Structure 1
Amino acid sequence: MRLALFDKGRLGIVDGDTITDVTDQVAPLSAGPAGALQQYIEAVTGGSVPELDAARGRRVPLAEVTLEAPLPRPGKIIGAPVNYLDHKAEMDYPTSIADLGVFLKANSSVIGPDQDVVLPYSDIRTDQEGELAVVIGRTAAQVSADDALDHVFGYTCLLDITVRSGEDRSTRKSFDTFTPLGPWIVTADEIADPDRLELRCDVAGENRQNTNTGYLIFGVRELVAYASSVMTLHPGDVIATGTPAGVGPLSDGDRVVVEIERIGRLEVGVDGSRATPYESRPGHRRG
């Protein structure tokens, strides 16, 4: 299934160019800020929800709805730094994920399709990083790589937007709007092998990134196992698996598209109209 949030938090099943509203089968009451899809993932884990029935829902053209981030406030977003060898080479990093481990991004950085990435600084480069995202479906702690996929609910597209300044990764990647997510979550049963997916990312109509997830240093299984050895993973947590070579600066008015085989296409805009000089940031000491 392809599960999406749309039109102010409705839950839908996407089928081709239509979407079927199944909200009332999952969340008859308010789902809260985490959203109805988070509620559904938790209910599936607890065995307290029947299988979704598209025949019982209202079906409308996908073009007539507004898609939102499928998980507007995930419990945590875990990032995998330097998880492609070609990105390690282009950035001249001496280390990779094997040395660095994982990092966290603020869940307040999430936005959905067709929203805008807001550039914070006018004089510091901010880059796009197209990535496959893994959505956890079952609580995972100290799981093995062999068992890792049993704990995955599904997959989606993610952009890990990054300021190239000197702060810690979690700071540089946690600005509001810095984690576009979507357009929906494809359930794990539709992806036979997450380590064999074509991924591309275009900026302003030009291709910047083109790879296959088979080139990940830590593949999805190993990454879930490693992350779960550090912290307990809960249903709805998101793991960004890392970006390949081809990262580059964003400019006001750009359109950024990340597309992943068998999953979908996520497109967002870029707004630089509010960018300010880096030295004007709070806490900067002059002299």
Structure 2
Amino acid sequence: MRICWFNDHRLGLVDGSLVRDVSAALSALPEPVYPGPRGDTLIAHLDEVLGAASGIAAEAEAFPVADVQFLSPVAEPGKIVGVPVNYRKHAEEAEADTEVFTARYRGSIEAQGLFLKATSALVGCGEGVSVRFPDRRTDHEMELGVIIGRKAANVSETRALEYVAGFSIALDMVVRGPEDRSFRKSVDSYAVLGPWLVTADEIADPQALDFSLSVNGVLRQASSTRHMIMTIAEQIGWASRFYTLWPGDIIMTGTCEGVGPVAPGDTMCCRIESIGEMAVTVRAWDGAQLPAGHAARRAGRNSRRSDRTTRFPSR
């Protein structure tokens, strides 16, 4: 199944070219408490919500996919984990251009370690990327996004994929420069996830997915997840040995060669086999306004605090 958050934080079930509003299925979630359990509540109870959504989808109000604004399919991840230079040809291009990529991109993945992106950087494809530093280079990095479905601590690589809730298209945007990569990759809107979450049961082999990215119609990145240096299972296993992974945690699994700069006015078109495609616009930072998804999440939290009987956002 394919689920999404859209417009004013409605829950959607993607049905071909339509998005069906199944927000009423959020009644399957447990009553909110404070402090709540770790992880994203929806992802932690995904099976229950999808079951409820399936029962009401046929009669739910539907919108054309082209007419909705897609937010991140994960609303509140605990962390976003990044995997550095996980494709051989990207490692080669980074090694060949240290003026752009710096010496931080040298060495094995194990030597460099995983890195974290701030969850405040997360947006959906419908919100777009806001370039905050026009005097510095901002690059796109197209990746497969893996969403963890249940608590994972010190898991084996042979069982690691059992902990995956689903997959999405991810953009690991970055400001080039000398600072630590986690700092430069955590700018607001520099973690794009979307357009929806495809449940793990629909992806026969996540290690054999073709993907591509174009900017303004010009192809820049094209590869397959089979070319990863560190497999998805290895990433989950290794990460879980350092910190517990919780429902809704996102792993951005690394990018291939062809990364390059974008500027306000550009449109990035991303595609991953068996998941779908998304268009992401690039704009200049206006200096103040939160992306729509952040505003909706904050409004939703305030609503839940003021009215404990509210089970899902009102229209």
State the TM-score, normalizing by the size of structure 2: 0.80
State how far apart, in whole Å, the 2-side matches of 1:56 and 1:147 are: 38
Match of 2:292 in 1: none
1:61 aligns with 2:64: yes
Unaligned runs of 5+ in 1: 276-287
Cα distance in 2 between the residues matched to 1:31 and 1:258: 35
Query: Counterpart in 2 of 1:16?
Result: 16
1:40 to 32, 35, 42: 42
Deviations 1:257-282 (A, max 9, x none): 2210011112211123659xxxxxxx
Identity within the alignment, %? 43
Return the alpha-carbon distance in structure 2 between the equivalents of residues 126 and 40 of structure 1.
32
Instruction: Measure, in 2, the Cα distance between the counterparts of 1:42 and 1:211.
Output: 32
Instruction: Note the alpha carbon deviations across 1:40-98, whole angstroms, 9 max, x for none.
Output: 221247x6984532235333332333222112331110000111111100010431312
Selected match of 2:166 from 154, 161, 171: 154
Counterpart residue number, 2:150 = 138
1:89 alignment partner in structure 2 = 92
Amino acid at match of 2:41: Q
Change (3 A) 1:208 1:153: same
Asked if 1 retains the 8 angstrom alpha-carbon contact of 2:195 and 2:277, the reply is: yes
Deviations 1:228-258 (A, max 9, x none): 1111000000000000000111112110122
For the Cα contact (< 8 Å) 1:157–1:182, is it kept in 2? yes
**1:188 to partner: Cα distance:** 0.0
User: 8 Å contact 1:73–1:110 — kept in the other structure?
Assistant: no
- Does 2:204 correspond to 1:214? no
Matching residue within 247, 267, 274 for 1:255: 267
Aligned 8 A contact 1:27 1:39 in 2: no
Match of 1:228 among 240, 248, 255: 240
Select the structure that is richer in helix: 2
Query: Following the alignment from structure 1 to structure 2, what is the Cα–Cα distance between the partners of residues 49 and 5?
Result: 13
User: What is the match of residue 113 of structure 1?
Assistant: 125
Number of residue pairs the alignment of both structures matches: 271
The DSSP-based 3-state class of the residue aligned with 2:158 is: helix
Match for residue 244 of structure 1?
Answer: 256
Q: CA deviation at 1:13?
A: 0.9
1:7 to 1:69, Cα distance in 2 relative to 1, 3 A: same
* C-alpha distance in 2 between matches for 1:201 and 1:209: 5
**Structure 1 residue aligned with 2:74, among 41, 47, 71?**
71
2:204 corresponds, among 186, 192, 212, to 192
Query: Which amino acid in 2 is paired with 1:17?
Result: S
Preserved CA contact (<8 Å) 1:10 1:23: yes
Give the 3-state SS of the residue equivalent to 1:52 in structure 2.
helix
Specify the SS of the correspondent of 1:235.
coil
CA separation of 1:193 and 1:167: change in aligned 2, threshold 3 A: same
| 1:128 is aligned to 2:140 | yes
C-alpha separation in 1, matches of 2:199 and 2:122:
20
Amino acid at match of 2:73: P
For the residues of structure 2 that align with 1:50 and 1:264, how far apart are their CA atoms?
Answer: 23
Q: Which residue identity does 2:53 align to in structure 1? A: L
Task: Report the TM-score when normalising by structure 1.
Answer: 0.87
274 and 96 in structure 1: CA distance in 2 versus 1, 3 angstrom threshold: farther
Q: What is the root-mean-square deviation of aligned Cα atoms in Å?
A: 2.4
- Cα shift at 1:39: 2.9
2:290 alignment counterpart: none
Q: Secondary structure at the match of 1:211?
A: strand
Question: What SS is found at the alignment partner of 1:233?
Answer: coil
